[in-house]
Amino acid sequence: MQKVSIEINGKKVSREIEDRTLLSTLLRDILSLTGTHIGCDTSQCGACVVHVDGKSVKSCTLFAADIHGSKVTTIEGLARNGKMHPMQEAFKKLHGLQCGFCTPGMVMSAVDLLKNKKNPSEQEIRDWLEGNICRCTGYQNIVAAVKEAASKM
């Protein structure tokens, strides 16, 4: 067991956790932040993507203990003062989600793309999202939403 302190969505939290606790487990099972989803057991699907110190990561690939002292943003922390992030707005406007399960990871991953690249091409968006699997949308409206968000940010 060890004590881990991190800042999640702007709030400082400390918990005594087992050493083997994954960040995804800490978020979902200990902090009840169930917006971060688990879609696989091989770090392939990307449903669990969150931001750690501003960078997108698959939260199932990190031990919570390893990010002691970091700042974490999850899908629950993306909207500010009740107003959705432009990426969330764009997904809504262009029907970039259907069942909603891959959506949190997809949105968090896309937000990170635009941090690094203001106006990505369609191919750059598709390449970046290669680590996020969606079974519903055929990706077309997701790609369109990322472009739309880029034009608004």
Partner 1 sequence: MASSLIGSRVERKEDKKFLTGKGRYTADINLANQTYAYFVRSPHARATISKVDISKASNAPGVVKILTGDDLAKDKIGGLIAGWKIVSQDGTDMKCPPHPPLANNTVNFVGDHVAIVIAETLDQAKDAAEKVRVDYKVLKAVVNTGDAMNSKPIHDGIDKNLCYDFLLGDKGKTDEAFSNADKVVKLDLVNNRLIPNAMEPRAAIGDYNPSSEELTLYTASQNPHLSRLILSAFNAVHPEHKFRVVAPDVGGGFGSKINAYAEDVVVAWASKKIERPVKWVAERTESFLSDNHGRDHLTHVELALKNDGKITGIKVETIANLGAYALVFATVTPTYLYAPLLIGPYDIPAACCNVKTVYTNTAPTDAYRGAGRPEATYVVERIVTEAAKEIGMDQAEFRKKNFINKFPHQQCLVHNIDSGDYNAHLDKALELSDYKNFENRRSQSSAKGKLRGIGFSTYLEACGIAPSAVVMSIGAGVGLWESAEIRFNATGNVSVFTGAHSHGQSHDTTFAQIVGEKLGVPIENIDIIHGDTDKGPFGMGTYGSRSLAVGGTAIVKACDKIIEKGRKVAAKMLEAKPEEVEFKDGEFIVKNSNKKKTIGEIAFACYLPGTYGDIKSPLPEGVEPGLVETSFFDPSNFSFPSGTHICEVEVDQDTGETKVVKYTVVDDFGTIINPLVVEGQVHGGVAQGIGQALYENAHYDESGQLITASYMDYTMPRADNFPEFKLGFTSTPATSNPLGAKGCGEAGTIAAPPAVMNAVIDAIGEDISMPATSEKVCNALQKNKKNKEAA
Nearest to 97 by CA among 35, 132, 139: 139
- The nearest distance, CB 39 to partner 1, in angstroms, is 5
Dihedral sign for Cα atoms in the order 86, 104, 42, 130: negative
The residue count for the chain:
153
Structure tokens at 106: 């997809």
Regarding 59 and contact with partner 1 (CB under 8 A), the answer is no
Rounded Cα distance, 109 and 52, in Å? 12
Nearer CB in complex with partner 1: 21/70: 21
- The nearest distance, CB 52 to partner 1, in angstroms, is 16
Regarding 126 and contact with partner 1 (CB under 8 A), the answer is yes
Among 5, 53, 66, 79, binds partner 1 (CB under 8 A): 79
Among 143, 148, 149, 150, binds partner 1 (CB under 8 A): 143
**Phi and psi for 97 in degrees, rounded to 5?**
-150, 150
Structure tokens at 80: 């500010």
Which residues contact partner 1 (rule: CB under 8 A)?
A: 28, 32-42, 44-45, 47, 74-76, 78-79, 84, 88, 91-93, 95, 97-104, 107, 122-123, 125-127, 129-130, 132-143
